[in-house]
Each structure stands twice: as C-alpha cells, then as structure tokens.
Amino acid sequence: GEQVEQLPSSLIVQEGASVLINCSYTDSASVYFPWYKQEPGKRLQFIIDIRSNMERKQTQRLTLLFDKKTKHLSLHITATQPGDSAIYFCSASLGNYKPTFGKGTSLVVHP
C-alpha cells in the first residue's frame, strides 16, 4: 500500500526563519495531498492541499510544491512565528477515502 515519508522529523528555528518540510510518497496513483497541523494537545487542522494536476499552491505564508515525476512534495513556511510551532503531517490519498499519513514533522519556533 501507499507509504508516506516526511523529513526532517523535527526542526528548531528562530522566529522569522523560513522552513522546508519534505514529503515523499510511493504510489503514483495518489491524487490528493492534504497537509494538517497539530498544535500541542490540540486536534489536527487542515492547512493546505494540492492535487496531482497542480505544481504549486500558495496561501499566506505557506507554499506547497508538488513534483509528480519524483513523487515529492515540499511545504515551505516563511516568516515563522511561535504560533507555527506544531507537528505538521503530510498525507496522500488515492481518492478512495483512505488517506495515508506521514509520521509528522515537529516544528519549534523560538521567539
């Protein structure tokens, strides 16, 4: 079945820095790639998604890049703030209601 890998597993940065979270998947048939953020002790929240017919999507300080050929995604967060501290999850879906999640990337932003 589909496997999703995220790197790095953790990041520690100073406020204002930019960060890059990488995600790779194995099943070329995956078509939908939502990302979620989980702040400490909180529920997962959707932050951005991309479909396999797109290469780039941007919302506020988030930019999501997708390379179908290499089966790779990158989430770029600019001008980080302490409120961005969370675990970020990449997921991949075949469009069959059964998404596969990565293990998460823990981001800590120091003020």
Partner 1 sequence: DMKVTQMPRYLIKRMGENVLLECGQDMSHETMYWYRQDPGLGLQLIYISYDVDSNSEGDIPKGYRVSRKKREHFSLILDSAKTNQTSVYFCASSLRDRDSEQFFGPGTRLTVL
Count of residues engaged in binding partner 1, rule: CB under 8 A: 24
Phi and psi, residue 36, nearest 5°: -130, 155
17 vs 101, beta carbon nearer partner 1: 101
CA distances from 10 to 17, 24, 27, 37 (A): 15, 16, 25, 14
Strands 86-92 and 62-67: unpaired
Which DSSP symbol is given to 54?
A: -
Q: Count of residues for the chain?
A: 111
Q: Does the footprint of partner 1 cover residue 93 (CB under 8 A)?
A: yes
17 vs 44, beta carbon nearer partner 1: 44
Contact residue for partner 1 among 16, 55, 95, 108 (CB under 8 A) = 95
State which of positions 16-75 bind partner 1 (CB under 8 A).
31-32, 34, 36, 42-46, 49, 51
Where does this chain bind partner 1 (CB under 8 A)? 1, 31-32, 34, 36, 42-46, 49, 51, 89, 93, 95-104
